[in-house]
Amino acid sequence: MDYLQLAFWAALLLVSALAGYAAYLWQKLRVQQTQLKAQTEQLQADLQSKNLEARQSIQIIARALLQKDLSDTEAAMRIGFLSQQVIATEAEEQQFEVFRQLAEATAYIPILDDWAMLEKSEKRRLNAERKSIEAKYADFIQAGAQQLVNISLH
C-alpha cells in the first residue's frame, strides 16, 4: 500500500468519524427540540389550567360578594390577587382595576392574626375607616362583581 492510498483511507476514516459525530449531534439536537416542545406544551397547558382555576375562583368570589357573604374589601383583596393569575382581556383588566384600587386603599388595615391582636376600640375605628373607603367604591365594586360573575372561562 502506498502513501496515497494510506492518506485516502485515513481521510475516509476521518470523514466517516466526523459524519458519525455530526449524526450523533443532530440526533441529540432533535431529542432536545422534542423535549423543549413537550415542555412548552406542558407549560401552556399548566397556564391554561391556572387561568381557568383563577377565573372560576373569581366567579365564586364575585357571587359571594353579590350575596353579601364577603365584604367589599375582602373580595377586592382576593380578586386583586387572582386577577394577576388570569390571562385577561382589556375589558377584564378594567373590571379588575377597581378591585385592585380598593385593595390598595385598604391595604394598611391588618388582617387575620394581626386583626385579632387589636383592641376593640382600634377594630371599631378601622372598621369605620374600611366602610368609609368601601362606600367610595361601592357602586363600581358591585358593577364589577356583576360583570365578573359572567367572566369567560377560556
Whether 120 shows a pLDDT value over 90: the answer reads: yes
- pLDDT, mean of residues 1-9: 88
Measure Cα distances from 117 to 14, 122, 127, 128, 144 in Å: 79, 10, 15, 18, 33
DSSP letter for each residue of 56-123: HHHHHHHHHHHTTSS-HHHHHHHHHHHHTTS---HHHHHHHHHHHHHHHHTTTS--HHHHHTS-HHHH
CA–CA dist 118, 58 (Å, integer): 30
Alpha-carbon distance 124 to 121, whole Å? Answer: 5
- Global pTM? 0.77
* pLDDT tens digits, 34-78: 999 999 999 999 999 999 999 999 999 999 999 999 999 999 999
Query: Would you list the domain boundaries of the chain?
Result: 10-148
User: What letter represents residue 150's amino acid?
Assistant: N
